Amino acid sequence: MQQGQPMVIMGDDAQRVKDKDAQEYNISAARGVAEAVRSTLGPKGMDKMLVDSMGDVTITNDGVTILQTMDIDNPTAEMIVEVAETQEDEAGDGTTSAVAIAGELLKNAEDLLEQDIHPTAVIKGFNLASEYAREQVDELATEIDAEDTATLKSVAETSMTGKGAELEKEVLADLIVRAIQGVTVEADDGSHVVDLANLNIETRTGRSASESRLVSGAVIDKDPVHDDMPTDFEDANVLLLNDAIEVEEADVDTAVNVESPDQLQRFLDQEEEQLREKVDQIVESGADVVFCQKGIDDLAQHYLAKEGILAVRRTKKSDMTFLKNVLDSVIVTDIDSLSSEDVAPGTVQRDTAEELFHVEGPDAHGATLLLYGSTEHVVDELERGVNDAIDVVATTVSDGRTLPGGGAIEVELARRLRDYADSVSGREQLAVEAFADSLELIPRVLAENAGLDSIDLLVDLRAAHDAGDENAGLNVFSGEVEDTFDAGVVETAHAKEQAIASAAEAANLVLKIDDIISAGDLSTSGGDDEGGAPGGGMGGMGGMGGAM
């Protein structure tokens, strides 16, 4: 106060939410994100249709894809999206589980806060529970060998179940496991390293997913730039070029006055000479095949065809990088510096029926998983499911630990956490028990999404685990409790550990906030939309209601 007048330290547009209001605001926003993806969890999970501002449609039940595509405009909600992104980066799958657990932790934390338990006590209890749960995951995990094909297939099939790849999951699981084993090397210390840089995915429409296949080397979906070029080479020298085979243009705008036809002809002759020199340099390097990331002039195409050189232009950057691995080659960025050392030996074959090039290196580095789907939407969702399965199988090979699925591990962890809570003193004990309750969300949601009675099934699951059946999980197809590991419902331990850690850390981060100060409305886009005020609950999550 100055002379009886209040001191104004914030602008007119600024907003501030404090204490309990801030906690309610943050928890409401975070739970809104979690509830948006809960219905997609499990084999019976539903899909979401997401339409972006350009009208492009995405149909998926992949958690991270949904959250990244949604128009989320709330800082707290975006923190929960980061949980899904971290889970995807670190484990490849389990994004929906991680986000759902984070939302349930915050829901149960809110109940504790209403009982006047301080957020610090809740955070400490969650940290204790998270650490103990991850220790128990390691204890419960089953070690497998990198050559255990049957278990690895089960891991792949479990990951794909409930996604677009489920219909042909047996065929795809076999391809995925063979692909992963093909790019796995054993390190000096006996561990296994999966080099996913040597595995590529190419998608095609118009055929059934059951016709998908694994191809040695790279598959390039491009055509020759000239009809007279050869297309098959048993023993070729391949050049990877990231430089245009075109006339070099001036960096600044220029105007040239031509006074006679002879002058114009000299300009044209000079351009032709430039192109001829570029082609001659390629010929002198000994290259038989050129994959160019940039453009190739029509005249240069003619010269290359006369020299018997196959050229492909506008090759995708990702394909160029993969070809570099397949051929153990380099990507040349300047034709003027090109030499014979820059070309690599390889085999190039044209599949005329598919209109694809197959490229192999002498040591068969790399492989391509050729996926088929009936339509673009189908093949896009198929690719997402296969990508998740590839990441999960790769993690399983390198980590070597697996767990039973179907909610079995969550119920067992919850049981052990409740026993552990008895040894925790103070109010943290209640937070540990709340953590245990939160983990049981997974089997409850699995049952709900399958149209089953979640309460009865959770009671049956608890009874089975109390009787010592650590692998007892839910079979959502039969509605029965059974040993899910023996039934082939297998998950990777690393993904479960990561989901628990990410969910706990995100929940604690939200709970630790007791004051929100915003220069404008509480949104991340800085737009003029109303609804950012704390009274709105979800704040500025503008696109969620419409998208869902």
Distance of alpha carbon 288 from alpha carbon 277, whole angstroms: 17
Is residue 431 a contact partner of residue 112, using CB atoms and an 8 Å limit? yes
Distance of alpha carbon 470 from alpha carbon 484, whole angstroms: 10
Is residue 276 a contact partner of residue 245, using CB atoms and an 8 Å limit? no
354 burial (CB, 10 Å; 0-12 / 13-18 / 19+) is middle
Place of tokens 């990951």: 159
Supply the DSSP symbol for 335.
Answer: G
Distance of alpha carbon 151 from alpha carbon 60, whole angstroms: 27
Q: Are strands 289-292 and 310-312 parallel, antiparallel or unpaired?
A: parallel
Using DSSP, state whether 215 is helix, strand or coil: strand
Task: Judge whether 388 counts as a catalytic residue.
Answer: yes
Task: Judge whether 95 counts as a catalytic residue.
Answer: yes
Residues 6+ apart with CB under 8 A from 240: 291, 320, 323, 324, 327, 329, 330, 331, 332, 344
Out of 388, 391, 399, 460, pick the active-site residue: 388
Distance of alpha carbon 511 from alpha carbon 305, whole angstroms: 67
Listed residue (390, 240, 260) closest to 316, CA to CA? 240
Task: Judge whether 62 counts as a catalytic residue.
Answer: yes
Out of 40, 76, 86, 96, pick the active-site residue: 96
Out of 62, 93, 391, 399, pick the active-site residue: 62
Mark 389-404 as b/e (b = at least 16 C-beta within 10 Å).
bbbbbbbbbbbbbbbb
Place of tokens 């040993």: 483
Half-sphere exposure of 314 (CA within 13 A, CB side): 7
Q: What is the largest CA-CA distance in the chain?
A: 99
Distance of alpha carbon 533 from alpha carbon 521, whole angstroms: 7
Listed residue (248, 177, 210) closest to 382, CA to CA? 210
Task: Judge whether 288 counts as a catalytic residue.
Answer: no
Q: Report the length, in residues, of the chain.
A: 548
Residues taking part in catalysis: 62, 95-96, 388
